[in-house]
Chain A
Amino acid sequence: MIKVNKEDMDYVDGMTIQDILKIRKYSHTMITVIVNGQVVPKDSYPTYRVKDGDVINVIHMMSGGC
């Protein structure tokens, strides 16, 4: 199990940040991903593999008409 934005999410062996964003339908481009307190560079999303028990925060910025 991992935590994504304070909610439980099933952990799948080998899952990447990009997989998590896809599952959660986090399509907004202005996001920052923080794993266990460390910011993950955007270009690492497809390759950064999370571990079971990781705490992930996907911080969305406001934008657009918002």
Chain B
Amino acid sequence: MTTGKILAKYEYQPAKIEKGYANQTLYINLSDRTIKAKPVTEQMKQIFTGGRGFGLWYLWNAVSGDTKWNDPENEIIIAGGPICGITQYPGSGKAAVVTLSPLTGCPIDNNVGGYFAPLLKFSGWDALEIQGKADKDVIIFIDGNKGLVTIEEADEGHDDTHLIAEELTEKYADSEEDKRNISVVSSGRGAENTLIGILNVSFYDVKRKAVRVKQAGRGGSGTVFRDKKIKAIIVKYKGVTGDSNNPADKEKIINAAIRLHREIFELDKLQNRMREVGTAHLVGIMNDYDLLPVMNFQYGSHPDAVKITSEVFREKYFTQNVPDNCWHGCSLSCAKAVDNYEVKTGPYKGQKVCVDAAEYETIAAVASNCGIFDPEYVIEANFYCDTYGLDTISFGNIVGFAMECYERGIINKEITGGLELKFGNAEAALELLHQMGRGEGFGEIAGQGVKRLREYIIEKTGADPAFLRDISMEVKGLEVSMYVSKESLAQQGGYAFANKGPQHDEAWLIFMDMVNKQIPTFEDKAEALHYFPVFRTWFSLQGLCKLPWNDIIPADNAITNEPHKIPAHVQNYVDIFTGVTGKNITREELLLQSERVFNFQRIFNLKMGRGTREYDRPPFRLMGPATKEEYESRAERYDKQLKELGYDIEGKTTEEKMTMLRQYRESQFEKLVDAVYKRRGWDKNGVPTLETVKKLGIDFPDVVELISRYRE
């Protein structure tokens, strides 16, 4: 790609970072080419902390309840957070990305690695807030050393991330040595042609001499990005040191970091082997526990899953003994890659590429959920999803759903444009992927997401809407991430209540609930569904990765009072927040930071006309067996449960037993909703009460006015 004419230019004096904050935000309006600095106020820091909190606050002020994702008013905000950019503590280079989602119509947030957010902050900006739309493709370039921001024409060139990021890194770096000072945000042609577009955030892998990317994957942020005609955003900053964040008390950070690094070096090989295989270790475990989505979440395990476990990837594909950290200083090093992979299909057939593959979610989504158990197909699909700018989780759900509809005779080749979408057909899945990239054929329709695909199928075929709702794995319009929640009521809530839609980063309670049986009552489950979503929100306020919290645990964690909270690591977070900002906080205050933003996001959903109880309802397949085949695959378990509940199942057909089980499980879910809303300080319709917003200090006049409309 060549960059062309400079359309707008803004010179600034880079701010000195003070205790984790640059204290200003870079605002760019692409419609009128405004570029300006906006102050980050003390009140913003107090109430919203940073990262996702800042993103939601800017977006709240930018849009009305009528704004659609493709209106110029919609924004993309990329922000780190006060801790973002420290190099001592593992997982400290994350960016929160916030925008109105094309899939849900509500705010979507992603927490993504790569170097962008730290380099942005050290260039003098806590956040980048982009509004408006360009009339043709543009590049935004931020030079943090020169204090220069430009909007440039993107004359011509590549359409897909692996080439865009490589070319722009080459172009904007002064030398090979300088490439580590560049990060490129880009997407691909698939993001233009679907609603499931992602953002890829790059970092330069010095050992491999390769540009690599991490993904802001969920909810279509890449689609918004391309709709604004942004080809890429580049930040360049030379001079990162361990002191760049100018922390208040570096010793406090170092002491916490030493403890964690020691645990990682001593225990990771005995625990999750993140340094060897990343999150892929979960494939085998989920299969063993009947939690691995197989064939559109119908089943939880499959004998062929052994072909796609981490052992296979480690043995044959993942390059070992190279530092795979996506920001400096992360010894957990889980960003695994496949080097010199020769692409087998599509426009890049025959090219040798470095693929950032494959994480658990991707393996489960594109492979087992589509009944495909081929590791090289996983790498191929992962590569194309990334470079086309498509979310692997949504893609895998779409294909799985379409395959099930095809297998059940609901759709046929007339609908699919000739694709034989049977479970296990990797060739057809890849062709659908290329069609999504090109925006052609059935791929263009399927790329609108599971919800819209369902509506299309109903319209075209007259299929039973109720049955299709049962088997279409989306809530709020977002596709479900990769855990079978049928036997865990708490996880059904974890998915269904999640603010952005069913993504596991808000709550993952299956082991506590289904395996350990630690939260048997509604009150227990409600407490877990209060604490964990609130706690997990905190990472995205700070610029932190969640994985070092619970993917490595101290040797003595088991003998603590609350081992699931990993108290030693929570204390680390208290220490590093205090060490960076100089603000002494307690664990309770840490949670309060999150609770404010968590509730504000819920209220934002209300502003967008959603966010009430009716939007927290999952498809039945998340709650139990939606088909006869599913019931019979776990008949012993379900029969036993019905008998224990006092149902007379003697002589009953599978269909009759399914009806009984469904009635029971749906009633349990409604009781869970009541218990969780109560614990969170929400009314029975899921609206935070006036008392709750006052307690949290988010009782702004427009918030109070909004929730009062819903008062019971």
Q: Footprint of B on A, CB under 8 Å?
A: 5-6, 25-30, 32, 34, 39, 42, 57-66
Chain A residue at minimal CB-CB distance from B483: A66
* A59–B558 CB distance below 8 A: yes
6 interchain pairs (CB within 8 A)? A27-B285, A30-B271, A62-B550, A64-B551, A66-B511, A66-B550
Given A25-B288, A62-B508, A62-B511, A5:B551 Cβ within 8 A: no
Chain B residue at minimal CB-CB distance from A27: B288
Q: Does B270 contact A (CB under 8 A)?
A: yes
A64: chain B residues within 8 A (beta carbon) = 272, 279, 281-282, 285, 360, 547, 551
B360: chain A residues within 8 A (beta carbon) = 64-65
A39: chain B residues within 8 A (beta carbon) = 558-559
* A61–B511 CB distance below 8 A: yes
Most buried by B among A30, A34, A61, A64: A64
Cα–Cα distance between A34 and B563 once the two chains are bound (Å): 13
In the complex, what's the smallest C-beta–C-beta distance from B296 to chain A, in angstroms? 19
Q: Footprint of A on B, CB under 8 Å?
A: 270-272, 279, 281-282, 284-285, 288-289, 359-361, 481-483, 504, 508-512, 515-518, 547, 550-551, 553, 557-559, 563-564, 566
Chain B residue at minimal CB-CB distance from A30: B271
Chain B residue at minimal CB-CB distance from A5: B517
A61: chain B residues within 8 A (beta carbon) = 511, 550, 553, 557, 563-564, 566
Q: Contact check: which of A25, A30, A57, A58 meets B272 at CB < 8 Å?
A: A30
A25: chain B residues within 8 A (beta carbon) = 288-289
Cα–Cα distance between A27 and B142 once the two chains are bound (Å): 48
In the complex, what's the smallest C-beta–C-beta distance from B429 to chain A, in angstroms? 21
B510: chain A residues within 8 A (beta carbon) = 66
* B515–A5 CB distance below 8 A: yes
Chain A residue at minimal CB-CB distance from B364: A65
In the complex, what's the smallest C-beta–C-beta distance from A2 to chain B, in angstroms? 15
- Smallest CB-CB A-B distances: 8 pairs: A32-B558, A66-B508, A60-B511, A64-B282, A27-B288, A25-B288, A64-B279, A65-B279
B284: chain A residues within 8 A (beta carbon) = 27
B517: chain A residues within 8 A (beta carbon) = 5-6
A27: chain B residues within 8 A (beta carbon) = 284-285, 288-289
In the complex, what's the smallest C-beta–C-beta distance from A39 to chain B, in angstroms? 5
B288: chain A residues within 8 A (beta carbon) = 25-28
Contacts A27-B288, A62-B508, A62-B550 aside, 14 further interface pairs with beta carbons under 8 A come to A26-B288, A26-B515, A27-B285, A28-B285, A28-B511, A29-B271, A32-B563, A58-B515, A60-B515, A61-B553, A62-B564, A64-B282, A66-B483, A66-B550
Cα–Cα distance between A65 and B364 once the two chains are bound (Å): 11
Cα–Cα distance between A17 and B482 once the two chains are bound (Å): 30
Given A25-B289, A32-B558, A39-B558, A63:B551 Cβ within 8 A: yes
Chain B residue at minimal CB-CB distance from A28: B285
A66: chain B residues within 8 A (beta carbon) = 282, 483, 504, 508, 510-511, 550
* A63–B550 CB distance below 8 A: yes
Cα–Cα distance between A39 and B558 once the two chains are bound (Å): 8
Chain A residue at minimal CB-CB distance from B273: A29
Most buried by A among B359, B558, B563: B558
A26: chain B residues within 8 A (beta carbon) = 288, 515
Cα–Cα distance between A64 and B361 once the two chains are bound (Å): 10
* A5–B516 CB distance below 8 A: yes
Cα–Cα distance between A42 and B518 once the two chains are bound (Å): 21
In the complex, what's the smallest C-beta–C-beta distance from B51 to chain A, in angstroms? 20
* B553–A30 CB distance below 8 A: yes
A30: chain B residues within 8 A (beta carbon) = 271-272, 553
Cα–Cα distance between A53 and B282 once the two chains are bound (Å): 33
* A65–B504 CB distance below 8 A: yes
A57: chain B residues within 8 A (beta carbon) = 516
A32: chain B residues within 8 A (beta carbon) = 557-558, 563
Cα–Cα distance between A32 and B512 once the two chains are bound (Å): 13
B271: chain A residues within 8 A (beta carbon) = 29-30, 63
In the complex, what's the smallest C-beta–C-beta distance from B309 to chain A, in angstroms? 10
Cα–Cα distance between A5 and B519 once the two chains are bound (Å): 12
Cα–Cα distance between A26 and B287 once the two chains are bound (Å): 11
Cα–Cα distance between A39 and B564 once the two chains are bound (Å): 15
B483: chain A residues within 8 A (beta carbon) = 66
Chain B residue at minimal CB-CB distance from A39: B558
B282: chain A residues within 8 A (beta carbon) = 63-66
Cα–Cα distance between A59 and B557 once the two chains are bound (Å): 12
Cα–Cα distance between A62 and B271 once the two chains are bound (Å): 12
Cα–Cα distance between A34 and B517 once the two chains are bound (Å): 14
Chain A residue at minimal CB-CB distance from B555: A42
A6: chain B residues within 8 A (beta carbon) = 517
* A65–B289 CB distance below 8 A: no
